Structure 1
Amino acid sequence: MRVEIWSDIACPWCYVGKARFDKALAAFPHRDRVEVVHRSFELDPDRAKGDTQPVLTMLTRKYGMSQAQAEAGEDNLGALAAAEGLAYRTRGRDHGNTFDLHRLLHFAAEKGRRDELLALLYRANFAEERSLFTEGDERLVELAAEAGLDADRAREVLADPGAYAEEVRADEREAARLGATGVPFFVLDRAYGVSGAQSAEVFAQALAQAWGERSVPEPAGGQDAAVCGPDACAPPTHG
């Protein structure tokens, strides 16, 4: 059985949702026969490379939140992340364009190291003091090398804007075709869709149902996920 997960490194619900899904998968009796494929989705595709700003500033300007609302949302996410055993910095994080991260993830997938790089990118973005967006390509090369990839080849990929660009766009077109308006978005065996960072119990039920019944219906949770709302993130609707 194949499970495809559309996500963005900038999405805190993707970070939490992955941990919850991983917990459900670890307890799934047929886990050794489940292939997990991570696919690309950009929450802020129109943001220019190098256009970086604090997360709290982005939330207030891009999504129309008040400072208090933005801070409360981050505090809530921090608590939810902690409940899943994840480190989460609620203040001082940056937000930027993630296209190069997705290109690098496709390169990593080709080399069989995508899961390792994905985990490192999430950790770097949500848990570490160093910014994932302000130190340039060498920061990404450093993480790629830590994931077991060749540093020089990773540097070449990042230096070529066209490298793995079509792979990223193909993932995004497929997400749109399947009706995904936000992330995380899980598709199980192209038969069931689960939208948002649902509980481990919900993911366990979805795995069991998809396995037992082995077309994508309406995703669980509906199509009206709010912008970084109760359990998912959606792209901004205004500038």
Structure 2
Amino acid sequence: MKIKVFADTICGWCFIGQVRLDKVLKIFPKTNFEIEHIPFQLNPDMPKEGIERNKYLEIKFGGKKFAQPMYDQMTNEAKQEDLNFNLDKIKKTPNTVFSHLLIKLAEQSNVHNEIKEKIYQSYFIEGLDIGDKEILINIGKEFNINADVINDFFNLKNIKEVNSYISVVREKKINGVPFFEIGTDFISGAQSSANLESAIKSNLS
């Protein structure tokens, strides 16, 4: 069964949704799932070097105090999935193009799910700058992807391909992520595991 996951690597709800999906997939051990990760950019105009975190919160929400209630809710939701978000560790909001490229490259060796989860962990739990090439190269090396191969993949042609998905998601009218295409069903948001399981079951019948 083909499942498309539209997500951004700096989206905490996407991390939560991914963990829920992974749990649900284990309920169907006899089903062959093909997971495709579709790049979504929450901040398509983000400078290549990213933006200092407090400045980003000022631009996006009017300041940290206005963002805090939403982040508190997200952190509490993450705890239900045994994820301990450390948002105060995050010093920079990065451009996510290179992280999406690493996930795409990882499809070639079928470790894209694992690498995507590691990128999420690096950002939300360790507070690392996942827009930094060296950090992404180190993640890739953990999964036996050669540093030179990663560097070569981070080229202008592939960057343009990631950016081409901006118009794809607009055409599909996807305004928020995570967004799941499960067979003929569409699920928006980090919904419950039960909802994801129900969608899979309805497309298996």
Alignment identity in percent? 26
1:216 matched residue in structure 2: none
1:109-159 Cα distance to aligned partner (Å, 9 max, x none):
1232211211111110111043334xx32111111111221111112223x
What secondary structure is seen at the aligned counterpart in 1 of 2:89? coil
CA contact (8 A) 2:87 2:127 kept: no
- For residues 197 and 127 of structure 1, the distance between their equivalents in structure 2, rounded to whole angstroms, comes to 18
1:58-89 Cα distance to aligned partner (Å, 9 max, x none):
2332134x532322222222221111011311
What is the alpha-carbon root mean square deviation over aligned residues? 1.9
Q: How does 1:45-60 map to 2 (within 5 A)?
A: 45-54=44-53, 57-60=55-58
CA contact (8 A) 1:60 1:70 kept: no
Letter in 2 for 1:145: K
1:203 matched residue in structure 2: 196
Post-superposition shift, 1:29? 5.9
- CA 1:129 to 1:48, structure 2 compared with 1: closer, same or farther past 3 Å? closer
CA contact (8 A) 1:75 1:90 kept: no
- For residues 148 and 89 of structure 2, the distance between their equivalents in structure 1, rounded to whole angstroms, comes to 31
- CA 1:29 to 1:155, structure 2 compared with 1: closer, same or farther past 3 Å? closer
1:92 matched residue in structure 2: 89
The size of the alignment, in residue pairs, is 204
What secondary structure is seen at the aligned counterpart in 1 of 2:6? strand
- CA 1:115 to 1:29, structure 2 compared with 1: closer, same or farther past 3 Å? closer
Unaligned runs of 5+ in 1: 213-239
- CA 1:211 to 1:175, structure 2 compared with 1: closer, same or farther past 3 Å? farther
Unaligned runs of 5+ in 2: none
- For residues 111 and 34 of structure 1, the distance between their equivalents in structure 2, rounded to whole angstroms, comes to 16
- Residue 128 (structure 2) aligned to one of 127, 130, 141: 130
CA contact (8 A) 2:6 2:39 kept: yes
1:227 matched residue in structure 2: none
2:33 matched residue in structure 1: 34
Post-superposition shift, 1:173? 3.5
1:161 matched residue in structure 2: 156
**2:137 aligned with 1:141, yes or no?**
yes
